[in-house]
Amino acid sequence: MEIRVQNLGPEQWHGDVLLAPACKGESLPQSCPALDRAAPWLSVAPGLRDFAGKDGELALLHGHPELAVPRVLAVGLGSRSQADAACVRRAVASGLRFCRKKGYASVVLPEVLLAGLCGGRERLLEESVCAALLALHRPALLKKPDPDEPAEPQWLAVAFDPADMPRDGQAAVRRGEHAAWAVNLARDLAAMPANRLSPALLAERAQRVARENGLICTVLDAAELEREGLGCLLAVGQGSARAPRLIVLEHAPTGHEEERPIVFVGKGITFDSGGLCLKPSANMAQMKGDMAGAAVVLATLAAVAKEGIARRVLGLLPCADNMPGGAAMRPGDVVCAANGDSVEIVNTDAEGRLALCDALVYAQKHWNLSALVDIVTLTGACAVALGPELAGLFTDDNSLAERIRAAGGSAGEEYWPLPLWKPYAKILKSEVADICHTGPREGGAINAALFLQHFVREDVRWAHLDIAGVDWTDKAESLTGVGPTGFGVRTLINLAAGGVE
Ligand code: BES
Ligand code: MN
Ligand code: ZN
């Protein structure tokens, strides 16, 4: 769907349907004179009598088909005092889904209807555009199209009142578009069946995305990983016929080439079978999405480049396939991490932290970083603790924690702090090696985070985001269908845009 901007008075608004977010207990034509001018029949429309403006409520009103605006779709926001960005996102998303179901080709959203809500005009504009594009997203179909499905909406026009344009209106629309494009890219990648997305293919895709958006992309193959000493990442990939890769992406705008970069690291397990400690078969298919973190980082870097954010940002994607082939790592094996520490492998299903620890070391060795943030589908324990809406946030750096929570919160991605409880570090002591990579089930998300922290120098500003549980949804919502959610992309874009200082 194309996003258009119209600088036309209400008399010239046109399209198949006008999308009208409305608050509870407020009559549409009275509360918005511009709308009354665009669709004068609204004031006598009987359908409006039943519309209360409750959160999530929809009412479709028909006028004369030859009027410039033949239909109005009213979408409820709930009471004005509580109508925030989240309500606007949901309202626009469910409105757009309704339009698609009806087969409407063109939708007009008058910006004036957002102008009076709390949250700031530009911001609500960005959220609306983003929500519309997220709501209509469907991962690339690998089946033949259904001839009975109505065609997708062709365009959404944001109609500005030429007499009252918000200063940053166009840029806000663009930001919403870029953010949605990136979230949808991350969703597409995570939805890709594992047979169609190996570490090497993900690297090719990253190179293409980099080329198209002006990022620098370097890919380390197995031989180079060997030379760099990334023994843990290599161990994870050993059981697969498809060798690991480390993908490095860089956004270094002119004048910022030598700046201390923000580095994002995303887990890129293209399939997590559990390895020799094989997972149960129920839900194993979902483990094609165990590269959600890598997808989020790749999509973020592309969006950061599209936005031309004036800051140096890097993305590291350690990619491997966790399979139980004949050369697979075994429980009891001892491998060597990139920092020289020997690591005892206990459970081959705890592969994420192995891939990650080497990437964290690599990042600290090669760059003088301003912050290091990893995003990982790391532990079922985190999903059990926080449920389907909250991601786990681990850091000892309070100001970085606040930055991340604010960056996520404004986009509807929420994080809850979990502790890096130092006394539990003794759990990771090994009889035979410098460190053991798994602790008991109890406190599983914390144990994993402490393992990662072992590889981060104390002077480095580091945060770990555990997105297991929020990366995927089994229930379709207004903004997300069943499958990968792309959770984290908007957080990282906002974090990069706002900086970490
Ligand atoms: N990729 C999984 C974690 C996961 C589980 C992500 C469910 C999304 C949904 C990870 O590699 C894993 O298997 N973790 C184990 C660790 C355990 C063996 C210590 C887990 O959480 O059970
Ligand atoms: Mn696993
Ligand atoms: Zn995994």
Residue 187 in domain: no
Residue 122's closest CA among 88, 90, 147? Answer: 88
Is 393 within 8 Å of 456 (Cβ atoms)? no
Both 196 and 300 in one domain: the answer is yes
Is 375 within 8 Å of 492 (Cβ atoms)? yes
The pLDDT tens digits of the residues spanning 470-495 come to: 999 999 999 999 999 999 999 999 99
Both 120 and 231 in one domain: the answer is no
- Structure tokens of 140? 């690339």
| Distance from residue 448's CA to the centre of ligand 2 (Å) | 12
Both 104 and 238 in one domain: the answer is no
Cα gap 257→133, rounded to integer Å: 33
Is 291 within 8 Å of 270 (Cβ atoms)? yes
Residue 183 in domain: no
* Annotated catalytic residue, options 80, 279, 330, 405: 279
Best substitution site from 349, 356, 472 to test ligand 1's pocket, by max atoms within 8 Å of Cβ?
Answer: 349
**Please, which residues have CB within 8 angstroms of residue 36's CB and are 6 or more apart in sequence?**
29, 30, 42, 43
Both 141 and 196 in one domain: the answer is no
Residue 159 in domain: yes
Both 121 and 197 in one domain: the answer is no
Give, in order, the Cα–Cα distances in Å from 215 to each of 179, 248, 299, 403.
17, 10, 11, 25
Longest CA–CA separation in the chain, Å: 81
Give, in order, the Cα–Cα distances in Å from 262 to each of 11, 364, 374, 436.
48, 11, 11, 29
Both 336 and 473 in one domain: the answer is yes
**Please, which residues have CB within 8 angstroms of residue 183's CB and are 6 or more apart in sequence?**
130, 134, 137, 299, 486, 489, 490
pTM over 0.95: yes
**pLDDT at residue 314, rounded to an integer:** 98
**pLDDT at residue 225, rounded to an integer:** 98
Residue 315 belongs to a domain with what CATH number? 3.40.630.10
**pLDDT at residue 250, rounded to an integer:** 98
Both 257 and 220 in one domain: the answer is yes
Both 160 and 253 in one domain: the answer is no
Which residues form ligand 1's pocket by a CB distance below 6 Å? Answer: 272, 290, 347, 349-352, 377, 379-381, 383, 438, 444, 468
Residue 104 pLDDT class (50, 70, 90 cuts): very high
Residue 155 belongs to a domain with what CATH number? 3.40.220.10
Residue 69 in domain: yes
Residue 243 in domain: yes
Using DSSP's 3-state secondary structure scheme, residue 228 falls into helix
Residue 470 in domain: yes
Cβ atoms < 10 Å from Cβ of 9: 15
pLDDT exceeds cutoff 90 at 119? no
Q: Please provide the distance, in angstroms rounded to a whole number, between the alpha carbons at the two ends of the chain.
A: 37
- Residue with CA at minimum distance from ligand 1 atom 9: 468
The pLDDT tens digits of the residues spanning 258-267 come to: 999 999 999 9
| Arithmetic mean of pLDDT over the chain | 96
One-letter amino acid identity for 433? A
Total number of domains in the chain: 2
The question of whether 279 is a catalytic residue gets the answer: yes
Question: Can you tell me the mean pLDDT for 18-35?
Answer: 89
Question: Which residues are bridge partners to 344 per DSSP?
Answer: 334, 436
The pLDDT tens digits of the residues spanning 314-362 come to: 999 999 999 999 999 999 999 999 999 999 999 999 999 999 999 999 9
Using CB atoms within 10 Å of the CB of residue 418, give its burial: 0 to 12 exposed, 13 to 18 middle, 19+ buried.
Answer: buried
Range in 62-66, 294-298, 377-381 with the lowest mean pLDDT = 62-66
Range of the domain at 203: 192-498
Both 454 and 372 in one domain: the answer is yes
H-type alpha helices, 103-220: 112-115, 121-135, 169-191, 199-213
Domain boundary among 167, 182, 213: 167
Share of the chain above pLDDT 90, in %: 88
| Distance from residue 10's CA to the centre of ligand 3 (Å) | 52
* More confident: 69 or 99: 99
Residue 15 in domain: yes
Cα gap 34→343, rounded to integer Å: 67
Both 130 and 209 in one domain: the answer is no
| Distance from residue 343's CA to the centre of ligand 2 (Å) | 17
Domain boundary among 114, 133, 167: 167
pLDDT exceeds cutoff 90 at 9? no
Residue 389 pLDDT class (50, 70, 90 cuts): very high
Range in 13-17, 274-278, 332-336, 380-384 with the lowest mean pLDDT = 13-17
The pLDDT tens digits of the residues spanning 246-259 come to: 999 999 999 999 99
pLDDT exceeds cutoff 90 at 273? yes
Question: Can you tell me the mean pLDDT for 181-189?
Answer: 98
**How far does Cα 431 stand from its chain's mean position?**
40
Cα gap 486→181, rounded to integer Å: 11
Cα gap 298→187, rounded to integer Å: 11
Domain boundary among 167, 183, 210: 167
Can you spell out the DSSP letters for 155-184?
EEEEEEPTTS--TTHHHHHHHHHHHHHHHH
With b for 16 or more beta-carbon neighbours within 10 A and e for fewer, the 21-32 pattern comes to bbbbeeebbebb
The helix or strand, by DSSP H or E, that contains position 321, with its residue range, turns out to be: strand 313-322
Dihedrals phi, psi of 59, to nearest 5 degrees: -140, 125
Residue 28 pLDDT class (50, 70, 90 cuts): confident
Question: Can you tell me the mean pLDDT for 125-129?
Answer: 97
The pLDDT tens digits of the residues spanning 412-444 come to: 999 999 999 999 999 999 999 999 999 999 999
**pLDDT at residue 302, rounded to an integer:** 98
Both 56 and 119 in one domain: the answer is yes
Residue 67 pLDDT class (50, 70, 90 cuts): confident
**pLDDT at residue 254, rounded to an integer:** 97
The question of whether 353 is a catalytic residue gets the answer: yes
One-letter amino acid identity for 367? W
Residue 185 in domain: no
Residue 1's closest CA among 110, 121, 97, 117? Answer: 97
* Annotated catalytic residue, options 175, 353, 461, 490: 353
Both 382 and 322 in one domain: the answer is yes
Q: What angle, 0 to 180 degrees and rounded to 10, lies between the N-to-C axes of helices 85-102 and 121-135?
A: 40
**pLDDT at residue 315, rounded to an integer:** 99
The pLDDT tens digits of the residues spanning 132-181 come to: 999 999 988 899 988 898 899 999 999 998 888 888 999 999 999 999 99
| Distance from residue 199's CA to the centre of ligand 3 (Å) | 14
Dihedrals phi, psi of 58, to nearest 5 degrees: -125, 140
pLDDT exceeds cutoff 90 at 243? yes
Is 129 within 8 Å of 1 (Cβ atoms)? no
